[in-house]
Amino acid sequence: MVKCLQAEGVDTVFGYPGATICPFYDSLYDSDINSVLVRQEQNAAHAASGYARAKIKPGVCVATSGPGATNLITGIATAYMDSIPMVAITGQVRSDLLGSDSFQEADITGACEPFTKHSYLVKKTEDLPRVFKEAFHIAATGRPGPVLIDVPIDIQQNEIESFEYPETVEIKSYKPNTKGHIVQVKRAVELIKQAKRPLIVSGGGVLISGAKLKLQQFAEMTQIPVLSTMMGIGVMPSEHPLYLGMLGTHGRRCANKALHTTDLVIVCGARLGDRAIAAPDQMSENTTKIIHIDIDPAEIGKNVKVDIPIVGDMNHVMKKLIENIGDFKINDEWDAEVKDLKAHYQNKISTFDGYVEPRTLIGKLSSMLKSKAILCADVGQNQIWCANNFRIREGRFFTTGGMGTMGYSIPCAIGAKLGLKKRDVVVVCGDGSFQMSLNELSTIVQNNLNIKIIVMRNYRLGMVRELQDNLYNGRHAMTILNDSPDIVALAKAYGIDSAEVSSNEDAEKYINKIVESDKPFVLVCQVHPDTPSIL
């Protein structure tokens, strides 16, 4: 198994050992693969996700059978919803004990069925090279996703006569179509040329296929304005004149306004989930036409009715669009209207004295970091503040837009940092999400990772509290986090320097100082509980 990982060029794995995965860990111990010990298995999967997104190749996580494996599930499900390439390896009880409810036995391939792209329960040691080869291939190609390999302990212990790693994969039933059909591309081009008010909606598929620069080029050639979904943030630099921001229930008003008046949407690598388009029927009822480009045919037409479907890899389809679009440019009226919209809906932010204003701070954060910085946002208000206010230049924005798993940001940052060591990696989370994965501060210290963590502390589960204000008569059932521990003292107990601030001025002062250091830091920002998610 270790040789298989080496053959796949894996340099880092994230995991947590246990009895049934010990033979694998024992071999890993002698290898040159960096094995990172997390503090809970779920975070191994999130770290592998962060690594995968940073490196654009499958991340690997490992856990033991039973509880180790079931703890992985949330991380695997998160990767599935966010289309992250991942290979998860779990130990399993001895083959002859399978199905007998033996100690630490769980049917993990069965349990993960709805959240894995594919899974294997390995029955013969000789099958391991083929299974690993297939798993990495399936995880990384087509629409990426997690693949689970469950290996009983005796299969790990058996010796095989000779190790030969297959060079190619032959799966009769799996041949993802990556090349967009040229006829469809040409039909799309015709439709774009007829459109008076076209828009591009870009999603995570553009980033995962590495088509970011091609999409920018296409937008610039045609001057078509660009919106992004949450997973697509980073497709365009935030300050790009053609970029209108994130769409959807928590998106920017100018983006949503533009979407309401468009006559053609070019959807690129996005599935248009219910957070992006809350009322898809309205969209197809009016005269808006839709071109949908995605690698996964099942996403096309699932949420929104489509006029021209193009199944293919964004990179390939974008190239074909650029070749075929000619010198088409959008008309001046639409251009002017979009610019107006953008100027008109500048968010005015209200502030609270004696507190940090998180949106203003996040708006300035990027200028204090290197241009290629990676921001890992958690889930909740902090995620929306980051999505709408972080000004991406050449860097990346990692968050879980599909699954929305609290506690994602810290382990994700660990993976991202280990994948791209030279990048600035910053976490923004809330005090709720921080407490879901604060145990990983140990992993940060043990691996000397220079990760800066900004905790937006409002003593609330802010997003749910906001929901309660709007829909449940302000009854704050179980969303108050009073009596939580002193985070500064906690960070220091882990051996990480930390400070608490209650004004933007102080926060900026600290950030400017800590980015110079190569040590991790936890900056706790006091945020007023009434600070809203948007506007």
Q: Spell out a b/e string for 404-430, using b for 16 or more CB atoms within 10 Å of the CB, else e.
A: bbbbbbbbbbbbbbbbbeebbbbbbbb
User: At its nearest, how many Å lie between other proteins and the CB of residue 302?
Assistant: 6
Instruction: Give the separation between CA 144 and CA 344, rounded to whole angstroms.
Output: 39
100, 173, 287, 473: which one binds other proteins (CB under 8 A):
173
26, 34, 103, 113: which one binds other proteins (CB under 8 A):
113
User: At its nearest, how many Å lie between other proteins and the CB of residue 314?
Assistant: 18
7, 33, 174, 468: which one binds other proteins (CB under 8 A):
174
Q: Are 317 and 309 in contact (CB under 8 A)?
A: no
Amino acid code (one letter) for 359: R
Q: Which is nearer to other proteins, 116 or 382 (CB)?
A: 116
Instruction: Give the separation between CA 255 and CA 238, rounded to whole angstroms.
Output: 13
Q: Which is nearer to other proteins, 295 or 456 (CB)?
A: 295
Q: Find the helix packing angle between 504-514 and 358-368, rounded to 10°.
A: 30
Q: Which is nearer to other proteins, 22 or 98 (CB)?
A: 98
User: At its nearest, how many Å lie between other proteins and the CB of residue 172?
Assistant: 6
The Cα-based distances of 492 to 98, 406, 440, 445 in angstroms read: 45, 23, 14, 11
The Cα-based distances of 64 to 43, 47, 146, 425, 463 in angstroms read: 14, 17, 17, 29, 34
Applying the rule CB under 8 A, the residues between 294 and 313 that interact with other proteins are 296-298, 301-302
Applying the rule CB under 8 A, the residues between 73 and 112 that interact with other proteins are 109-110
57, 117, 289, 342: which one binds other proteins (CB under 8 A):
117
* 137, 140, 142, 148 alpha-carbon torsion, rounded to 10°: 70
User: At its nearest, how many Å lie between other proteins and the CB of residue 110?
Assistant: 7
Within 10 Å of residue 317's Cβ, how many Cβ atoms? 28
**Per-residue contact string for residues 178-197; x = within reach of other proteins by CB under 8 A:** --------------------
Name the residue among 504, 348, 534, 358 with its Cα closest to residue 431: 358
User: At its nearest, how many Å lie between other proteins and the CB of residue 209?
Assistant: 18
User: At its nearest, how many Å lie between other proteins and the CB of residue 379?
Assistant: 24
Adjacent-strand bridge partners of 293 = 268, 310
Only one of the segments 84-92, 172-180, 313-321, 509-517 lies at the binding site for other proteins (rule: CB under 8 A); that segment is: 172-180
Site membership for other proteins, residue 114 (CB under 8 A): yes
26, 103, 164, 171: which one binds other proteins (CB under 8 A):
171
Phi, psi angles (nearest 5°) of residue 499 = -150, 160
Interface with other proteins: number of residues (CB under 8 A):
17
User: At its nearest, how many Å lie between other proteins and the CB of residue 299?
Assistant: 9
Per-residue DSSP letter, 480: B
Q: Which is nearer to other proteins, 165 or 174 (CB)?
A: 174
Q: Which is nearer to other proteins, 120 or 218 (CB)?
A: 120
Only one of the segments 66-74, 166-174, 215-223, 512-520 lies at the binding site for other proteins (rule: CB under 8 A); that segment is: 166-174
- Sign of CA pseudo-dihedral 370, 371, 377, 383: positive
User: At its nearest, how many Å lie between other proteins and the CB of residue 127?
Assistant: 12
The Cα-based distances of 213 to 167, 238, 342 in angstroms read: 31, 14, 23
User: At its nearest, how many Å lie between other proteins and the CB of residue 270?
Assistant: 17
53, 118, 292, 342: which one binds other proteins (CB under 8 A):
118
Q: Which is nearer to other proteins, 295 or 426 (CB)?
A: 295
User: At its nearest, how many Å lie between other proteins and the CB of residue 157?
Assistant: 22
Instruction: Give the separation between CA 425 and CA 54, rounded to whole angstroms.
Output: 11
List interacting residues with other proteins (CB under 8 A): 109-110, 113-114, 117-118, 121, 138, 171-174, 296-298, 301-302
